[in-house]
Amino acid sequence: MYPIPSAAVRLIPASHFSIDELTAIYNQTRVDYLVPMPMNAARLAEYIRIYDIDLDHSLVAVEGDALRGVIMLGARDERSWITRLGVLPSTRRGGVGEALMRGALEQSAMIGLDFTMLEVIKNNTPAHQLFRKLGFYEIGELLILRRPPLKQLVEPVVADARRLERYEALDLVGYDRGAQPWTNQSESLNHAQEISGLRLALPNGSCGWLVYQRQKFTLTHFIYKTERGDPAEMAYAFLSHLHHQYPRLDTHIENIQLGDPHLPGFYKMGYVESFRRIEMWRGTPPQTLVPR
pLDDT digits (tens, 9 = 90+) for 89-137: 877 777 899 999 999 999 999 999 999 999 999 999 999 999 999 999 9
Query: What's the Cα-to-Cα distance from 178 to each of 73, 95, 138, 227, 270, rounded to whole Å?
Result: 21, 35, 17, 17, 29
Torsion angle (degrees, nearest 10) of CA 124, 130, 131, 132: 110
User: Do 253 and 133 sit in the same domain of this protein?
Assistant: no
State the pLDDT at residue 2: 39
pLDDT value at 244 more than 80? yes
pLDDT band at 290 (very low <50, low <70, confident <90, very high): low
> Is 265 among the domain residues?
yes
Amino acid sitting at position 252: H
By residue range, what is the domain housing residue 63? 9-137
Flag whether the pTM goes above 0.85: yes
The percentage of the chain sitting over the pLDDT mark of 70, rounded to a whole number, equals 96
> Is 3 among the domain residues?
no
User: Do 174 and 84 sit in the same domain of this protein?
Assistant: no
pLDDT digits (tens, 9 = 90+) for 27-40: 999 888 777 788 99
pLDDT value at 12 more than 90? yes
Terminal alpha carbon distance of the chain: 32
User: Do 128 and 163 sit in the same domain of this protein?
Assistant: no
From 121, 137, 153, the end of a domain falls on: 137
pLDDT digits (tens, 9 = 90+) for 255-280: 999 999 999 999 999 999 999 999 99
pLDDT band at 5 (very low <50, low <70, confident <90, very high): low
State the pLDDT at residue 10: 93
State the pLDDT at residue 7: 61
Computed over every residue of the chain, the mean pLDDT equals: 92
> Is 4 among the domain residues?
no
Q: Contact at 8 Å (CB) between 29 and 86? A: yes
| Burial category of 112 from C-beta neighbours within 10 Å (exposed 0-12, middle 13-18, buried 19 and up) | exposed
User: Do 124 and 231 sit in the same domain of this protein?
Assistant: no
Nearest to 124 by CA among 172, 92, 96, 146: 92
From 137, 171, 204, the end of a domain falls on: 137
The percentage of the chain sitting over the pLDDT mark of 90, rounded to a whole number, equals 83
pLDDT band at 200 (very low <50, low <70, confident <90, very high): very high
State the pLDDT at residue 1: 34
| Burial category of 211 from C-beta neighbours within 10 Å (exposed 0-12, middle 13-18, buried 19 and up) | buried
User: Do 105 and 225 sit in the same domain of this protein?
Assistant: no
Q: Contact at 8 Å (CB) between 130 and 170? A: no
pLDDT value at 178 more than 80? no
From 137, 160, 186, the end of a domain falls on: 137
143 DSSP 8-state letter: E
pLDDT band at 66 (very low <50, low <70, confident <90, very high): confident
What is the distance between the alpha carbons of residues 252 and 157, in angstroms, rounded to a whole number?
22
Q: Which residues contact 127 (CB under 8 A, 6 or more apart)?
A: 85, 97, 120, 121
User: Do 64 and 132 sit in the same domain of this protein?
Assistant: yes
pLDDT band at 292 (very low <50, low <70, confident <90, very high): very low
Pick 179 or 164 by higher pLDDT: 164
How many structural domains is the chain composed of?
2
Q: Which residues contact 144 (CB under 8 A, 6 or more apart)?
A: 252, 253, 254, 255, 256, 273, 274, 275, 276, 277
